[in-house]
Chains A and B, each alone.
Chain A
Amino acid sequence: MANARGKSFLAKFGVHLAVLVFVIIWTIPTLGILVSSLRDKDQIIASGWWNAFSSSTQTEAGRLPSPETQVEKDGSFVIEGNIFGDGPARAVSAFGLRSAAPTQYPAGEAADLSDGVTLIINEDGSFVLTSPVAFEGTRGQRIYYASSAPPRFTTENYETVLFSEGIGRSFINSLTVTVPATIIPIMIAAFAAYALAWMRFPGRALIIATIIGLLVVPLQMALIPLLQLYNNVALFFGVPSKTYLGIWLAHTGFGLPFAIYLLRSYMAGLPKELMESARIDGASDFEIFLKIVLPLSFPVLASFAIFQFLWVWNDLLVAMVFLKTDASELVLTAKLNALLGSRGGDWEILTTSAFVTILVPLAVFFSLQRYFVRGLLAGSVKGG
């Protein structure tokens, strides 16, 4: 008995541990960019983000002030100052004079240059360069030093990306695309779903079958013909071919099969008696839809709205095909993709931009998870 209990305790512990490992693996990537986006940009490249809370050490090269700043003191010539100038305080651990040995001397120790010249760099960055004869030339002494900075967190990166990198503008663009592209299909789909669920007319089964078929049609199929169509329409009317109206309608078209499918299966499940009694009371289909079906369908409407919102917000392909690539129409995903090309190694820009783009989906996700999951469960009866 004791043995069995010990075994089940181990099994239980194993389950907790396994889940913990999964959770860590799944959250660490996102945590990484969140932490990085808040770090000082010099620190991001100096140490991994998991070291963000300890001091970061980096080795840098610098140059002491030029000989013009020397003063004569007790018969020797001295250049004094602080290698960090007015910058943020850091702690020097070691310094050197050659790039091959950048940390040859510990901080505070005197380094012997040739001809009796000595250099001391203290931990706080202050230095004293002493020489028995006057320094000559116009360039200061080359030095190398390893310094560590205390962890520094800042919102500077956010200010940079939002206001000077154009992410702020793209954020507005994304909203401009997403909100109408979410609202328009809901209205159109709701009416169609009602008709398909509760009205009798020839061709109904065929339309439903077609919609289920269209659920899985790859978006790629639609791109080239629609691009041609848009170009022709634009040419005919003398208007630009890449407009917000164009992408709203495109997203509406691509979202409709799923919307109709989801709403129809929900509406078809509403109690029949409700409709019948309303009809006996003389209500028309329009009234039944507006006053009974629509209010009752709120949960599924919310589910679809979340889906469509996330899908449009996160979409890159449709935006790249149907919108211009200049600042006025560049949405967040496209902007982020462009930054990956142009600012490839600037992780403070990339991590911060990425976090800005996922902020809205995460907020939607956390506040409306219940509806999201419900929609997912209802929608997964099909294949797309």
Chain B
Amino acid sequence: MAAQILSAIITIIVGVGGAIAYFWGANKLLDLIFPSRGVTGMTAVDNLRRQGLIRPWLFIGPALTILVIYLIYPVVQTLYLSFHDRSGENFVGIANYSWAFGDREFRNSIFNNILWLAVVPAACTFLGLVIAVLTDKIWWGTIAKSLIFLPLAISFVGASVIWKFIYEYRGDGQVQIGLLNAIIQFLGGSPQVWISLPFWNNFFLMVILIWIQTGFAMVILSAALRGIPEETIEAAVIDGANPFQIFWKIMVPQIWGTIAVVWTTITILVLKVFDIVLTMTNGQWNTQVLANLMFDWMFRGGGDFGRGATIAIIIMIAVLPIMIWNIRQANREGGL
């Protein structure tokens, strides 16, 4: 253990030192090859121009290299693999895609993913908005927000353990140690095995993500609400609007842009949801989702890279509209 800590510390020093050495050394080298000081007239101007041409690439080089290896190449390669067999060697055309749409488990995953997409972003955004509005009005709102925000720091696996404990099932008539079944039993119902309850078990898994992400929606929307000009609300109050009208007709329209951002952010997260399903059910009892199915195919029976890649591409296709919207949005805001 001590050896591991030591080697980690050494690697950190070497890695960080290496990065510093690269940036410093490369810049120094550039100054040496094309000196701009100590030379006269045209040479200095020429060298400055050459420096200006090269230096940005020194700065951005490492980042570009890593992005190409870790993101751009894989995207291309995944597309390539999706048209090949399990070993990635033989071209199989669209066989993987036609397999996917004929596969019961795949269709089940698509159905569940759509269910997740329909419920989770909406629930998080709505609850986040309601809590943001309510906490703005009370003196202990900051503390309340802090506590609701807290699950965001918890890992999906940790959250799954937390909720598995809540859903814990003991036979009818026994002492229930799971909170949900204890409440059900207290109210006179009979305890259920929540995570294998057909169809509804999906919702019990979604609750975990909603529990985690509502804090995110709340924080962003709360900041947006504070940006609403007071006068618009005051004017509505004078005109005799009730709180619900103020909320729906004055506040919500003014923060529409932020709501869209929160919604899409959570949508992307939902498409990638993996940890919760893996730890809670591993896709059993019809709770499979695409991301977990893909992981499954990566390693199932030694791994079928063709099918795994196909599922990854399908997740990517679902994200694509959001990606394009993002780039256009950034373009319009003059970010480019």
Contact = CB atoms under 8 A, between A and B. Distances in A.
Partners in one complex: yes
A337 B278 contact: yes
Interface in B64-121: 64, 66-67, 69-75, 77-78, 81, 88
A189 B319 CA distance: 24
A214 B179 CA distance: 42
A354 B161 contact: yes
Chain B interface extent, by class: 35 or more
A33 B161 contact: yes
A314 B156 contact: yes
B74 A361 contact: no
A224 B309 contact: yes
A380 B161 contact: no
A216 B268 contact: yes
Query: Chain B interface mostly helix, strand, loop or mixed?
Result: helix
Interface string B322-336: 110111001100011
Contacts of A257: 67, 71
B55 interface: yes
A244 B144 contact: no
B151 interface: yes
Given A213-B323, A222-B74, A188 B19 contact: yes
A235 interface: no
Contacts of B71: 214, 217, 221-222, 253-254, 256-257
A271 interface: no
A52 to B, nearest CB: 11
Interface string A193-211: 0111001110011011111
Interface in B113-164: 127, 131, 134-135, 137-138, 140-141, 144, 146-164
A221 B62 contact: no
A22 B148 contact: yes
B57, B150, B156 — which one has the most chain A CB atoms within 10 A of its CB? B150
A4 interface: no
B63 A361 contact: no
B249 to A, nearest CB: 18
Contact of A201 (B56, B156, B295): B56
Contact of A216 (B166, B223, B312, B323): B323
Contacts of A64: none
A87 interface: no
A180 B327 CA distance: 30
A71 B181 CA distance: 50
A245 interface: yes
Contact of B278 (A256, A265, A316): A316
Contacts of B326: 212-213, 215-216, 382-384
Nearest to A201: B56
A127 B294 CA distance: 62
Contacts of A289: 59
Contacts of B166: 29, 32
A316 B275 contact: yes
Contacts of B327: 209, 212-213
A184 B335 contact: no
B1 interface: yes
A222 to B, nearest CB: 4
Interface stretch (A42-50, A78-86, A144-152): A42-50
Contact of A357 (B8, B158, B305, B336): B158
A282 B243 CA distance: 60
Contacts of B75: 217, 221-222
A253 B147 CA distance: 32
Nearest to B161: A354
A376 B140 CA distance: 22
Contact of B325 (A191, A333, A383): A383
B319 A187 contact: no
Given A15-B138, A218-B316, A381-B261, A188 B66 contact: yes
Interface stretch (A114-122, A128-136, A225-233): A225-233
Nearest to B315: A218
B15 interface: yes
A314 B15 CA distance: 23
A342 interface: no
Given A44-B177, A199-B56, A30 B154 contact: yes
B219 interface: yes
A201 B21 CA distance: 24
Given A50-B179, A209-B330, A383 B316 contact: no
A10 interface: no
Best-surrounded residue of A196, A199, A213 (most CB of chain B within 10 A): A213
A49 B3 CA distance: 40
Interface of B: 1, 4-5, 8, 11-12, 15-16, 19-20, 23-24, 27, 31, 37, 52-53, 55-57, 59-60, 62-64, 66-67, 69-75, 77-78, 81, 88, 127, 131, 134-135, 137-138, 140-141, 144, 146-166, 168, 175-179, 182, 211, 214-216, 219-220, 223, 243, 258, 261-262, 264-265, 268, 271-272, 274-275, 278-279, 291, 294-295, 298, 305, 308-309, 311-313, 315-316, 319, 322-323, 325-327, 330-331, 335-336
21 contacts: A18-B134, A29-B166, A30-B150, A32-B179, A184-B15, A187-B16, A188-B66, A191-B63, A199-B56, A222-B70, A224-B78, A252-B70, A253-B71, A256-B71, A285-B59, A316-B274, A321-B298, A333-B155, A351-B165, A357-B157, A383-B268
The 4 A-B pairs with the shortest beta carbon distances in the complex, nearest first, are A253-B70, A314-B155, A192-B63, A225-B77
Given A217-B319, A253-B69, A383-B264, 12 more contacts: A47-B175, A204-B56, A211-B67, A213-B326, A215-B326, A218-B271, A224-B308, A227-B298, A337-B157, A337-B275, A362-B153, A369-B146
Interface of A: 11-12, 15-16, 18-19, 22-23, 26-30, 32-33, 36, 44-50, 169, 172-173, 175-176, 179-180, 183-184, 187-189, 191-192, 194-196, 199-201, 204-205, 207-229, 244-245, 248-250, 252-254, 256-257, 260, 265, 282, 284-286, 289, 310, 313-317, 320-321, 328, 332-333, 336-337, 340, 347, 350-351, 353-354, 357-358, 361-362, 364-365, 369, 373, 376-377, 380-384
